[in-house]
Structure 1
Amino acid sequence: MPAADAGSNKGFAYALGAFAIWGLILPIYMKLLDHVSPFEIVAHRILWAIPVAMLILWWQGVLGTVWRHFANVRTVALAALAATLISVNWGTYVYAIVSGQALDAALGYYINPLVNILLGAIVLGERPNRPQSFAIGLATVAVVILTVRAGGLPWISLTLAFSFGVYGLLRKMVPVGASEGFFLEVMILALPSAVVLVAMAGESRFLHDGVETALLIGTGPLTAIPLILFATGARLLHYSTIGVLQYMVPTLLFLGAIFLFGEPFDIWQLVAFGFIWAALALYTFALFQKGRAARRALRPQGL
């Protein structure tokens, strides 16, 4: 087997592992904790991710040098903003799962790539092409349909999409690697998380219920491991491939919400999701079109 094919196969395995955890295993895991406050779940998720992140940094040989980033005020400020956004994203996601609104979470992660295009245009001046603009329009129609149906904005979907979109922009501005950046974020969130757990100590069954204690501790590895799998897979695969594979997460979440969690799904939701799926088909088409154009530009002339 050629080395490039072996690398691609490993990349697929890593990426698929990450997306399977995010789209299927994590929702089922969170559903087991649906009697626990989302605030407590997120706080435990952050605190128990710290030792896992440290172990990963030690394995990568950078644990001794990661601390220097805390001396850079700009890096810490950007990481703090990113940490705030990802904690909002995690909290909204957990709330959606434990409150029986996983379909809204799936919609948010379907919308996210289109939100990234919109944010790129607004913040970075990246002008979307015609298919991308049309895709954003279709997604807007879907949001309007759901707003009229529910009598209010689908705030869970929009919060997930925009918090993760802005988080992605900020992460590009933080001059550290994926593992180091994740460590900075959970360390920054450690003190607020500890405060939350102290404040909720009276109603928590942590350390009083063996199963619940084990599940809450397990949220740490379940947070860190897919991030590392994704980062490893992304280095071995083309960006366009990752862009298409990421649809696994909301698709698994969508199927799980209907067939595992039994959430209701009416005709108007189907119409709205139809608009989203059409928008994503256009987005994918534009992504591959851009990739082909880039490859043609790099191809030697006359061959």
Structure 2
Amino acid sequence: MAHSSDARAGLFYGIGAYTLWGLLPLYLHLLTAVPPAQVLANRILWSLLLLLAIVAATRRLRPLVAAARGRVLAMLVASAALIGINWFVYIWSVTNAHLVEASLGYFINPLLNVALGMLLLGERLNRLQVAAVGVAALGVAIFAAGGGGALWVSLVLALSFGFYGLIRKVAAIDALGGLTMETLILAPFALVVLVQANQGGTAAFGHDRTLDLLLVLAGPVTAAPLLLFAAGARRLRYTTVGLLQFIAPTLQFLLAVLVYREPVRATQLATFALIWLGCGLYAWSSIRAARALPA
């Protein structure tokens, strides 16, 4: 009974995390007047303040410092660079009407994770997983051959988050500690961006109370889904987490087409059809694998 309750809570946390990520463009569109670099800088610094407060409240500072050393620290520097790139490109894509391409990148990501697991971690793929990756690769090839659009957005988002996840999978540090260290590593760069903007007279913060509040909210907007995800991942099977990944890009695509009226070309539709087919094969493979496990 306790296990069932724990799983239900994990499912709630997981759905909550990916729903918040899927609805993130609604928040970012309120910041279109702010340069993406400043949005990212505020996102880093306000997130850091919130995370440090959580670390202090939960008395996790000493274990965090003990874990973030040597090889782990070097890995966190790499993962910080990757998540910084990922956040910047995503913010840019939303504010420059490329949300369709961004959603494509996050549809590719779960399938890329499968491929990276095979190539770099020695994990074996079953036939359905091989077919899923192959179909997705065909979709990307069609998109590239068709020209137009911003394929680089999709690829940068998929590759940066894919390798970010790979590093975080093998780094010996928990989710909260890892995210706190990553934002701490990125904080000096964020400060440089804001100081230069202030000196150049282009700083967005400090001129409008509503805009200031929106920028301060970047902290909880960033941290909340990550903390929900960490709580859910501890309670759910990995296969279930893999299936939940498709919630966010589905919501992003629907927002792009239905709310922001971004154009969708024939090559993009063909690509999405193949990506969704690949995702369907991956989902079916995950369900079969879960059913095969002993209860």
TM-score tier (shorter): over 0.9
Change in 2 beyond 3 A, CA 1:208/1:153: closer
AA partner of residue 161 (structure 2):
F
CA deviation profile, 1:272-301 (whole Å, cap 9, x unmatched)? 111001001111122122223333xxx7xx
1:10-21 pair list within 5 angstroms = 10-21=9-20
Same amino acid, percent of matched pairs: 41
CA deviation profile, 1:24-46 (whole Å, cap 9, x unmatched)? 1x110001111211111111101
Aligned-partner Cα distance in 1 for 2:31–2:89: 15
**1:147–1:153 contact (8 Å) kept in structure 2:** no
1:233 CA drift (Å)? 1.3
**1:115–1:161 contact (8 Å) kept in structure 2:** yes
2:50 to 52, 63, 74: 52
* Residue aligning to 1:42: 40
**2:72–2:171 contact (8 Å) kept in structure 1:** yes
Give the RMSD, CA atoms, in angstroms: 1.6
* Secondary structure in structure 1 of the residue aligned to 2:31: coil
1:171 to 168, 174, 193: 168
Aligned-partner Cα distance in 1 for 2:4–2:293: 21
CA deviation profile, 1:82-106 (whole Å, cap 9, x unmatched)? 0000001101111110001111111
1:256 CA drift (Å)? 0.6
* Residue aligning to 1:286: 285
Change in 2 beyond 3 A, CA 1:234/1:69: closer
* Secondary structure in structure 2 of the residue aligned to 1:167: helix
Aligned-partner Cα distance in 1 for 2:114–2:289: 14
* Residue aligning to 1:269: 268
Consecutive unaligned residues in structure 1, runs of 5 or more: none
1:133 to 116, 124, 130: 130
1:151 CA drift (Å)? 4.5
**2:107–2:275 contact (8 Å) kept in structure 1:** yes
* Residue aligning to 2:61: 63
Aligned-partner Cα distance in 2 for 1:292–1:17: 25
1:153 CA drift (Å)? 6.8
* Residue aligning to 1:259: 258
* Residue aligning to 1:218: 217
Aligned-partner Cα distance in 2 for 1:151–1:66: 45
Aligned-partner Cα distance in 1 for 2:240–2:286: 9
* Secondary structure in structure 1 of the residue aligned to 2:125: coil
Aligned-partner Cα distance in 2 for 1:9–1:136: 30
Change in 2 beyond 3 A, CA 1:98/1:88: same
1:222 CA drift (Å)? 0.7
Change in 2 beyond 3 A, CA 1:64/1:124: closer
1:172-251 pair list within 5 angstroms = 172-201=169-198, 202-251=201-250
1:117 to 103, 111, 114: 114
| Deviating more after overlay: 209-218 vs 97-106 | 209-218
Aligned-partner Cα distance in 2 for 1:205–1:290: 50
* Secondary structure in structure 2 of the residue aligned to 1:200: helix
1:159 CA drift (Å)? 0.7
CA deviation profile, 1:108-131 (whole Å, cap 9, x unmatched)? 010001111111222122232221
Change in 2 beyond 3 A, CA 1:105/1:153: closer
Aligned-partner Cα distance in 2 for 1:237–1:152: 37
Aligned-partner Cα distance in 1 for 2:39–2:285: 38
The normalised TM-score by structure 2 is: 0.94
**1:42–1:90 contact (8 Å) kept in structure 2:** yes
Please say if 1:79 is aligned against 2:49. Answer: no
Aligned-partner Cα distance in 1 for 2:93–2:253: 12
The normalised TM-score by structure 1 is: 0.92
Consecutive unaligned residues in structure 2, runs of 5 or more: none
1:93 to 90, 96, 111: 90
